Chains A and B, each alone.
Chain A
């Protein structure tokens, strides 16, 4: 009943791009996001990612993932300080815990890096349909079976979640109380939930592969691609920009910018 696909049907420049150029753009963003340690530098690609994501209509997806993003960001802030030596002046002193400037900047920078990756990934799935992902990967030279498997997994995941919800309702209506009993009982209570979910998935996969073959799907045979795109001028422009961003980021870093 609920629709869980992440693709959002809009008409934006990014939506119209060839999936390969979108991918190039995202990789450019990832490199820029990865290379800097200093939060002031790492924050730039994060903000760019965030802005682009909102511009292409990705706000609903962002809202759905907000809890996860907030959790990763705050857990990161708490954990990352332990991965770097102390340095600079102490900014926060809290009983036995004292955080230096270096530790805080480091943690902030790393958390921004993760946020950049999430925004980049979301931009990709918000603007690219499964078919485009499959076609793009195929045109990059990956074997078709691999590309199709990726596409199918992306498509089936939401239905899998929906089925799990229905199974839970069906078993609760028959009196299953997952929370009852000790730890052993509780684990055992999950059997009536897990088996139908996996069995349904198994059956679906069987029916689906049967239906696939009946529709002429054959990995060993030559196939055509409808809507096969060639890279247009705007696609090349995006790839060029992505390349420039990546090279500039690497060059800046090599010059010593954005380090701690």
Chain B
């Protein structure tokens, strides 16, 4: 995968790894094939070169070994996590199998997904100084690095004595990046750094990463050296970056792409080529970039497929396609939730307010909120990190009681229900599956809810079977949940709620740990339950693509107040409102907006899915797929 003008930053040869210490790849054969390896290997005969001076992205289905692979680059594997390891790894000319993590840290920086567990200090300043202190940078130089790093990640406007705990999610993750950057690593590893962030936080983090490298991402291969123009320091940013991500739009900025599935490298190549290869991506269960998907279906040859909106407009116009938004037929493919509201009101919220108490202050979280939810609706609850989405959702089933105002469920005040009474009707899937998993097998975990609700044994077993099948964990029913991947644990948590057969399902960021295929199958299931059994769905999500695709109604929260409550289609047609609330519509909506304003065919509603978009296109090329 590496072209001639790049040297190698990381070289992996025949790497096998299993978290199980007992696991051994078969002996004797010097070149065992992957099928001969022990079945529980997370990495199986990996041969990989990561080019120096470039930005590489690692893609692949959930549980395929992406994070594990990344952890071999800074010796976390096999120094910190021993497991069973074989093979050779050389990173920046060091044999990582013989090097300690803390020694690699001077050259290799690592930003993990979970920003909370990477903040070690009680002020911004001491957080930025922590890494340099560890590698014994002289205090005078640390002072310079602290200032430079704060500026690099865009936190220099904040009071440096502020506690990291008070920052927003996006700011926290940028602080982690700044702390790593202050160590001046040559190589930067990022493990799903944006998966818990809102669209604005994601945008700001990506901007921070861009300013780290001193160049626009994706143009690095054409630069000879990376120099930062904004910050005066002898360090010009990490030469090499490797990022694991589920978000295909982030991957578009990379120079190289690697696809990892089931512990094996299936594809490598320049990112712009690999990400245009719609058939390969579909085959590997990786989300196809929406614009690629559209134009691939419109019959545009692979090499001409656009990755970004401006390219898409060019392709559209140069191929003489015609934009007819009035042809939009709302055919139920998007948003897919039928919103088959029966008119029967389930929830009524009147002037609900709620605040959290802390040592020094009262923090308002939900401020004077009123709305109704009817049976059979599918509603997206969106807004920035800390806007009060989760707090609001917890009022619906009485986990939190409003300070003022009232919440009624089916005509009765929520506070008059017992938890077990309301729990049978309202299922709540929490954001972090580890906050609920306690049983020693997957099956027992899923049985817990229905058992509490005294479901008959035979009925209970049927429900558990079907819930496990729905989330694709039937094969793992006897596994200890503790040993499953995060994505798998998320599915265990979901199954445990589905098995209680709720009439209302509330879920908090349910798709973060899921790959494209799992997300689609999960959302199709929810849609089916909504259409066939009139399940009411309230989802908290940052994924605008999921909102556009599945939720007819959106409620947008900002600082605890509702700033929009109405149809998702109208929300996405209103560019000003989107910008005002820092919402970034999916690429398909973005492109539709641009095409409509260019052709002056302004329409009150825009296509929300690839399928709807294609219906609005009249083209002369009749090679549609």
Contacts and interface: CB of A to CB of B under 8 A. Distances in A.
B122 A131 contact: yes
A155 B126 CA distance: 14
B163 interface: yes
B333 interface: no
Given A7-B122, A129-B123, A1 B80 contact: no
A48 to B, nearest CB: 23
Contacts of A166: 430, 432, 435
Q: Is the contact region of chain A dominated by helix, strand, or loop, or is it mixed?
A: helix
Contacts of B227: none
A225 B438 contact: no
Interface residues of B, number: 81
B359 interface: yes
Nearest to A212: B120
User: Contact residue range for chain A?
Assistant: 35 or more
Interface in A148-190: 152, 155, 159, 163, 166-167, 169-177
Interface in A76-107: none
A172 B117 contact: no
Contact of B423 (A173, A216, A217, A224): A173
Interface stretch (A26-34, A197-205, A234-242): A197-205
Interface in B120-145: 120-123, 125-126, 129-139, 142-143
B105 A3 contact: no
B423 A175 contact: yes
A175 B453 contact: yes
Interface stretch (B106-114, B305-313, B370-378): B106-114
A79 B399 CA distance: 40
B448 A192 contact: yes
A209 B102 CA distance: 11
Contact of B129 (A60, A171, A177, A227): A227
A2 B112 CA distance: 23
Contacts of B280: none
Interface string B163-187: 1011000000000000110010000
A233 interface: no
A226 B438 contact: no
Nearest to B359: A60
Given A166-B432, A174-B496, A215 B120 contact: yes
Contact of B134 (A129, A174, A216): A216
A17 to B, nearest CB: 16
Given A196-B435, A224-B142, A226-B139, A216 B131 contact: yes
B49 to A, nearest CB: 23
12 contacts: A5-B163, A5-B359, A64-B359, A169-B399, A170-B428, A170-B436, A171-B436, A175-B424, A177-B452, A210-B101, A226-B139, A226-B146
